Chain A
Amino acid sequence: MYRYDQYDQAMVDARVEEFRDQARRRLEGKLTEDQFKPLRLMNGLYLQLHAYMLRVAIPYGTLDARQMEILADIADKYDRGYGHFTTRQNIQYNWIKLEDCADALADLATVEMHAIQTSGNCIRNISSDHFAGAAADEVVDPRPYAELMRQWSSFHPEFTYLPRKFKIAVIASEKDRAAMRLHDIGVRIVARDGEVGAQFYAGGGMGRTPMIAPLIRDFVPIDQFITYAEACLRVYNRYGRRDNKYKARIKILVHELGAAEYIRQVEEEFAHLLSVGVEPPREELARITAYFAPPAFVDGPKTVDRSDPDFALWVDRNTHRHKHDAYVSAVISLKPAGGIPGDATSEQMRVVARLAREYSFDELRVMHTQNLLLPHVRIADLHAVWTALDEAGLGAPNMDTIEDIIACPGLDYCSLANARSIPLAQRISERFAETGRTEVVGELKLKISGCINACGHHHAGHIGILGVDKKGTENYQISLGGSEAEDVSLAKITGPGFDEDGVIAAVEKVTDIYLATRADGERFLDTYRRIGMEPFKEALYG
């Protein structure tokens, strides 16, 4: 994986000192909260419901054991012994003190990590396919391209006060495991006639006006990659709406101009920027790519001993095909039935770090599903890995099932929330685990957001749940038929909302309809797409 050289390290160190200085000026009263807020946000520091919250970037979701151990140490030293892994492959700490924050950032910097641009109206942490470098179906490893973008977007002098936040995802396979088209810019690295280039999508997003990004360029030659991205951003910075924060995302610009007009403006700016020359030297991509050379895989057994049914189930559910046939990628579920999706204790982080060191070439991933991943595990080692995970409470065999719920922090932590998300996730996962229906139902992506901002991706859930405020009490709307994958679609609301008990019963009813009507091999989403909304509505409200 990528390693900082003295330049990258100096940038991050300088940023820590800059932030230390900003925090000092705030504490001394030289900065008002209004002035300090954008500065702390650009260092990932929010003021949340109960305390300051620090969001740490995990670029394209990749980290090593040492980094994970520092994340654990920070949880113990400056927080309350745990962290929350997010859908954008970051980690959030919920109880950081302003006066400690610079120290926490300095600790992060010792392992080449930071919280730079994890919030604010700037280009955020670049996300990617969690199976990058391991997936059998990728054209290339997308991470070098994401790293090139990370450097370009870090402290970008022109794009620090954009109309609104800006999220980019980079993938390199037909399958989309990063919700690429629900990002402000989605990039797919492709190969045409042996030449590598980038396909650009722009104007996707969730939030209050969910939109799927249209294709804006089918092929950007790779030695013009950054220049093209710069053109996209410049047009947005100049013309994105600033009169209304709810209409300020690029999706609104692309929608209001129409994709064709946005494309025209980008092409014009692109031609201009090509003449200016903003592309990094070509050797830079080669330098970065060298860091992502595949580890030294060795041949070995390709099957496991399935005599232990619990282990066999975990292997079936939680492992993913690898480029090398003696390896798999193993998903570490942060979704124990009844647990808090995405939360991990410092102890669990250390277990995971140890396993990465021992069994996965010192590499870990954070998945956008709020799980962790050991990308390269020898099939021969799987039983040992599973045993250790199970002991640490990390062995739930539930990837992509209804227990694998994405839930935002909701009203338990978030000051923007209307309703709690986590208790729903806890009750639903518990109910399905107890009744044994998880296995029967199979793949079903359930996603919960505590308000319209959609941090829990509810628009992209096979079943989505949205918390709304009903005269001061929590209420939940259900929607069906969303997908963040290559078959991307936005979920549709079923009808009036439910209270907490009601929504749990409703989820069960919806899965009843699916089980009663599914054809062979159909997932929940397929059945919904075939039979439409009516039968579900009938069951819920009829």
Chain B
Amino acid sequence: MADNLGTSPDEVQFRFRDDEPVDHAAVTVDSCCDQTNATAVRIEPGDDARVLLPFLDRLALVEVNFPSFGDGRGYSAARILREAGYAGELRAVGAVLIDQLSHMRRCGFDSFAPDKRLDEEDAARAFATWENVYQRAADARRTIADKRHEA
């Protein structure tokens, strides 16, 4: 295939999974739908994540590209995949900045390959920013409202 896209495992700065990362390049969403053997795909902001739903079983890596940090479509793409049961690696790549890490994590991203490496200490702080959360999201954390009304 012509496309040789995506980030290599070396470029991943943070990963919250124990399995071996996929070691080959990702393909575009279009090629993924045409090819029967692709296991890694890369979503651009304009792609509809839902076209991947029939193929989730064979996918091990979905990269979601953030060409600019202000384009938030990738957050919806991530949640949609997790809501459909996707359990493989979901990697945020591109303009991934410190202050987005906690939100991305909540939307279901479990690995991060920022364009520019992030300060480890700042990032650790960012991942831990929210001890509690208001909304239900892809991380299945119990929300504040759930905690208020347990018991």
Tell me the complex Cα distance, A273–B39, Å: 27
A14 with B76: CB separation less than 8 A = no
> Could you mark each residue 126-151 of chain B with 1 if its beta carbon is under 8 Å from any beta carbon of chain A, else 0?
00011111111100000111111100
Tell me the complex Cα distance, A25–B71, Å: 23
Which of B45, B129, B131, B136 is packed against the most chain A CB atoms within 10 Å? B136
B117 interface residue per 8 A CB criterion? no
Given A160-B75, A234-B76, A7-B132 contact (CB < 8 Å):
yes
B129 with A237: CB separation less than 8 A = no
A238 interface residue per 8 A CB criterion? yes
CB of B140, distance to nearest CB on chain A (Å): 11
Tell me the complex Cα distance, A281–B135, Å: 11
Which of A11, A39, A151, A238 is packed against the most chain B CB atoms within 10 Å? A238
Q: Which of B12-20, B29-37, B99-107 contacts A (4 or more CB under 8 A)?
A: B99-107
A158 with B148: CB separation less than 8 A = no
B97 with A157: CB separation less than 8 A = no
A11 with B132: CB separation less than 8 A = yes
Given A151-B144, A234-B76, A161-B71 contact (CB < 8 Å):
yes
A535 interface residue per 8 A CB criterion? no
A287 with B149: CB separation less than 8 A = yes
Residues from chain B with a CB closer than 8 A to the CB of A238 are 48, 73, 76
Dominant secondary structure of chain A at its interface with chain B = helix
Nearest-CB residue, chain B, relative to A239: B73
Given A10-B132, A156-B135, A161-B145 contact (CB < 8 Å):
no
**Count of A residues near B, CB < 8 Å?**
40
CB of B70, distance to nearest CB on chain A (Å): 5
Given A156-B135, A161-B70, A287-B148 contact (CB < 8 Å):
yes
B135 with A157: CB separation less than 8 A = yes
A160 with B72: CB separation less than 8 A = yes
B129 with A14: CB separation less than 8 A = yes
B83 interface residue per 8 A CB criterion? yes
B70 with A155: CB separation less than 8 A = no
A152 interface residue per 8 A CB criterion? yes
A469 interface residue per 8 A CB criterion? no
A151 with B134: CB separation less than 8 A = yes
A280 with B143: CB separation less than 8 A = yes
**Segment 1-36 of A: residues with Cβ below 8 Å from B:** 5, 7-8, 10-11, 14, 18, 21-22, 25, 30, 35
B83 with A276: CB separation less than 8 A = yes
Tell me the complex Cα distance, A154–B106, Å: 14
Nearest-CB residue, chain A, relative to B72: A161
A157 with B145: CB separation less than 8 A = no
Choice from B99, B107, B119, B144 contacting A158 with Cβ under 8 Å: B107
Residues from chain A with a CB closer than 8 A to the CB of B97 are 35
A278 interface residue per 8 A CB criterion? yes
Nearest-CB residue, chain A, relative to B95: A35
B147 with A7: CB separation less than 8 A = yes
Residues from chain B with a CB closer than 8 A to the CB of A277 are 136
Report B's interface with A, CB cutoff 8 A.
45, 48, 69-73, 75-76, 79, 83, 97-100, 102-104, 106-107, 119, 122, 125, 129-137, 143-149
5 A-B pairs with CB atoms under 8 Å apart are A10-B131, A11-B144, A22-B99, A272-B83, A284-B145
Report A's interface with B, CB cutoff 8 A.
5, 7-8, 10-11, 14, 18, 21-22, 25, 30, 35, 38-39, 121, 151-152, 154-162, 234, 237-238, 242, 272, 276-281, 283-284, 287
Known: A14-B131, A152-B134, A157-B133. 6 other contacts (CB 8 A): A5-B148, A18-B129, A155-B103, A157-B106, A237-B76, A238-B76
